[in-house]
Amino acid sequence: MAADNKIIIDGLNTVKKHQRPKNQGEKGQVVTVSRPVNMSNVKLICPACKKATGIAYKFETKGDKTVKVRVCKKCGAKI
């Protein structure tokens, strides 16, 4: 769901959904379903400090080019 900026995470934002029987003689059931969450509400886990963190950007120069790099806000490591 990249166009909607939403992702599905197992066990998060679960709802119970009542499901009708598909064939005659079966019983209906209540199923737990994970619903999508907006990407802005999810944090990235830093590989260096192993904590949930926001992302900052730094500009580094490599030769004659300037490159935009993602950086952990808590420890400052490159992501």
- Judgement on whether residues 48 and 36 belong to the same structural domain of the protein: no
How many folded domains does the chain comprise? Answer: 2
> What is the extent of the structural domain holding 23?
1-40
- Judgement on whether residues 35 and 47 belong to the same structural domain of the protein: no
pLDDT tens for the chain, 79 residues: list them.
667 889 999 888 999 999 999 898 889 999 999 999 998 888 889 999 999 998 899 999 988 899 999 999 999 899 8
pTM, 2 dp: 0.56
- Judgement on whether residues 1 and 18 belong to the same structural domain of the protein: yes
According to DSSP H, which parts of 1-79 are helical?
A: none
- Judgement on whether residues 55 and 72 belong to the same structural domain of the protein: yes
Q: Torsion angle of alpha carbons 52, 55, 56, 60, nearest 10°?
A: 110
- Per DSSP (E only), the strands in the chain are 6-7, 14-19, 29-34, 37-38, 44-45, 52-53, 55-62, 65-72
